[in-house]
Every structure is written in C-alpha cells, then in structure tokens.
Amino acid sequence: MLAVLRDRTYHRLFTAQIVALTGTGLATVALALLAYDLAGAEAGSVLGTALALKMTAYVAIAPAAGAMAGRLPRRALMVTADLVRAGVALFLPFVDQVWQVYALVFLLQSASAVFTPVFQAVIPDVLPEERDYTRALSLSRLAYDLESLVSPALAAALLSVMTYNWLFTGTMLGFLASAALVLSAALPVPAAHPAPRRTGSTFSRATAGTRLFLTVPRLRALLALNLAVAAAGAMVTVNTVVYVRDHLGLPESAVPLALGAYGAGSMAVALVLPRVLDRLPDRAVALPGALALAVIFAGLWAVTTAQSGSWRRTALLALWAAFGAACSLVLTPAGRLIRRSAPPEERTAAFAAQFSLSHSCWLVTYPLAGWLGAAAGLPSAVAALGGIALAASLLAVRLWPSRPVHVHTGLPAGHPHLVGARRVRAGRRHRHGGFDDGLHSHP
C-alpha cells in the first residue's frame, strides 16, 4: 500500500492532507473549550449549532466549488482554501461572542468544502492506474481514522503545557503547511479530455455533478449507500457518550476507548481492502458492507434493551468496531465508482456532488440520532436509524445493476430495447477511454 507514496506529487498531497487533518482535529478540541468559556452549560447547544453550520456549508458550498473548478486552476483553489482556513484559525482565539464563533466556523467549513472535492478529483489524475488509486483511497481512509485517534491525544498533551488558545495556532500552522505542500506539488494538467463548453446558467453548472449522480445507475446506488453509512456514523458519533456514561455507567475515560474501537475497525478493513479490491468488483464489497450495517444495528438493539450484564461493555466495543469496518467497506470504493463513472472533465463536479450529497445525509441523521435518542430513548433511535440503514442498503442493491445496462441507439422510438433506458442522458451513452458510466452502447 505504501508503494504509492513513491510518487513525489502524491506523497506531497498526502502529507498535506495529514497536516490539515491534524490541524482540524486540534481545532475541534479547542472549539469545544472555547464554547464552554463563552456559553458555560450551554456549550453543547453552541457546538450543536456549529456542527449544523458545518454540514450546511458542506452541502451548499461544495457544488459551487465544483462549478468554479472548471474555470480556475486547481492548485490556486486549494491553496486559497488553505490560506482562508489558516486565517480563520488565526482569528478564533480573539472572539468573545458566540455569533462570531458561528460566522468563523461557517467560513472555515466553506473553505473546506472548496478544498476537499478539488483535492479528491486531483488524485485520479496523479495516480491514473486503478491499482495505485485504490491504495490511495485506503491511505486516505486510514488518515481520517488516525486523525480521530491521534488529534485528541495530541491536544491533551499540548493542553498540559499551554492554554487551549494555542491549539488554534497549531491549526493555523497545519493549514499553512498544507498550502505550501500543495504549492510545491507538480499537479498534472487534465488534457486528455478538454472541458466542454458550458453555456448553462451558474445554477446549471453547480448542479452538473448532482445530475450525473441521478443519471448513472451505480452513482444512484452510492447515494443510498451514503445514507446507510450516515445512519451508522451518526449513531456512533452522537450517542457514544450516552451509551458509555448513562447506559453502561462507565467513566469518561471509556468514551475515547469506544470511539477508538470504531476507528480501529475502520483501519483494519482499510489495510486489507486494496488486495480485496484487486480480486473483487466494487459491488461485491460495498453492498455486503452496507447490508452488514443493518445486522450490526440488530446487535446494538440487543445491547440497548438488555437491563444489565457486564457482557454489554465488550459487546458495545465489538459493535462499534464492526460499524467502523462496515463503513470502511462502503466508503473506500466510493472514489473508484466516481472515477469510473465521470469523464475527466467532470470529475471535480462529481466529487463535489458526492461531498455535498453525502453530508446532506449526515445533516439528516445527526439530529435524528440526538433528538430521537433524547426524546424517545436509545431503543427508538436504534430502531429508526437501523431501519434507515436497512432500507437504504436494499435500495442500493436494487439500484446498482449487477451487469452493465444496455442502451441501444439508432433504434426507432418505442423499440423494446429502449425500455428502461429513457432516463439515460444522451451525452452519457458512450465509453470514453478509462471512463465507464456503467452503461453499454450498441449503435
């Protein structure tokens, strides 16, 4: 897996991702402490609103970023986004009003919504071989999981010798380092397929990636898979502290242990998945992973409804690790799906759509996990989110054809072979080099 790091450009971009993620992790801890200083007992409400603003920025800004990426240099977009994030981190220690936190968090996450889809769209050009790209996706998954484990520990160590305001300085340095690394990387110019002339409105260009998702069968399935993953991830993120502290009566130190189990499960799968994907198609990996989420929810129901028993502690850790493993099975092949389903000139728009649409799912499941769990109890939250995961997984199985859809052109309207193909956009009916939209044409 580490062999792809021999590519100098990818090595620099991956390092940029690592330092930026570390900076983001430090900012997460510092923001929690800042919210407590500003709002006291209402800090949870402040952080909840900040999280909602984060998701709103992701959903609203990412499609616009995809539209801009076709007109602006990708390096300039990523460097500018990093500089904006560094500037926000510089100002955060000086805020003294809650509304200022909201404004800066929205600006910070808007810049992230620009950076991330462009970054994701660059990697297939840097690593054109699918085998290398698959390993890059696994490394990216590992980077996210390691950040969730390392950043809190690093923040705790730094807080032992400095105040939390200095953590924002670490965040700023991380984004500046990311900008420098991106600036130093020799990004390939996507010249194989020149960008098409776009004559539509700004709104039309911003929604081009979303329309692609609604056109290609397996990308429609990916939308459903995103919802299944969001249901599981929201349950873990929102209710881990409730399970550990209230349901099991464990100390605060057990919270990071439970979250670490989720990360460990995800990392274990990410390490072995490249070799698995060399032998199995994406469908044979992602769909079983999604269906497994419903089974894991059934196990969580047993733990949630059990009144007592020390076995519940071990079971919760095992279930959290299983959630992480199943989510990794679904998420890691997602980049390969988009790479195969979108022509090079539309990759950034497609990745922007994936970024926006997946976070739309989180915007639904986050409050559902929290509000339903608080109002009706954990069993109701487990039942609702488990039902969503099951329904979304079954929908993905139905939407993702096991064989390419055959679209016959040059036949008269109403011909039997055209049935079921009317929703296929005309410009998507042919295969272009390495671009495979999951459709098959027969002139």
pLDDT in tens, 388-427: 999 999 999 999 987 755 433 333 444 333 344 444 334 4
Domain assignments of the chain as residue spans, ordered by start: 1-187, 215-400
pLDDT in tens, 154-209: 777 788 788 888 989 999 999 999 999 999 988 887 654 444 444 455 556 667 77
* Among 248, 333, 351, residue whose Cα is nearest residue 289: 333
Question: Is residue 152 very low, low, confident or very high in pLDDT (cuts 50, 70, 90)?
Answer: low
pLDDT for 67 equals: 66
The H or E element spanning position 248 is: none
Q: Say if residue 279 is exposed, middle or buried (CB neighbours under 10 Å; 0-12, 13-18, 19+).
A: exposed
The phi, psi pair for 74, rounded to 5°, reads -65, -40
pLDDT in tens, 370-387: 888 878 888 999 999 999
Name the CATH superfamily for 1-187: MFS general substrate transporter like domains (1.20.1250.20)
Neighbours of 291 (CB within 10 A): 18
C-alpha–C-alpha distance, residues 57 and 356, integer Å: 9
**Bridge-partner residues for 405, per DSSP?**
439
Domain 215-400 has CATH 3.40.50.2300: no
pLDDT for 48 equals: 65
pLDDT for 101 equals: 87
Region 297-317: mean pLDDT is: 90
Region 246-267: mean pLDDT is: 83
Same topology for domains 1-187 and 215-400, yes or no? yes
């055209």: which residue's tokens?
Answer: 418
Q: In this structure, are residues 48 and 173 in contact, taking their beta carbons and an 8 Å threshold?
A: no
Q: Which amino acid is at 325?
A: A
The 3-state DSSP composition of the chain as helix, strand, coil percent (nearest 5) reads 80, 0, 20
70: tokens are 């076709």
pLDDT for 207 equals: 72
**Residues 6 or more apart whose Cβ sits within 8 Å of residue 176:** 82, 83, 86
CA distances from 145 to 5, 158, 210, 271, 415 (A): 18, 20, 27, 12, 51
CA distances from 433 to 47, 189, 270, 344 (A): 47, 17, 28, 10
Region 364-373: mean pLDDT is: 85
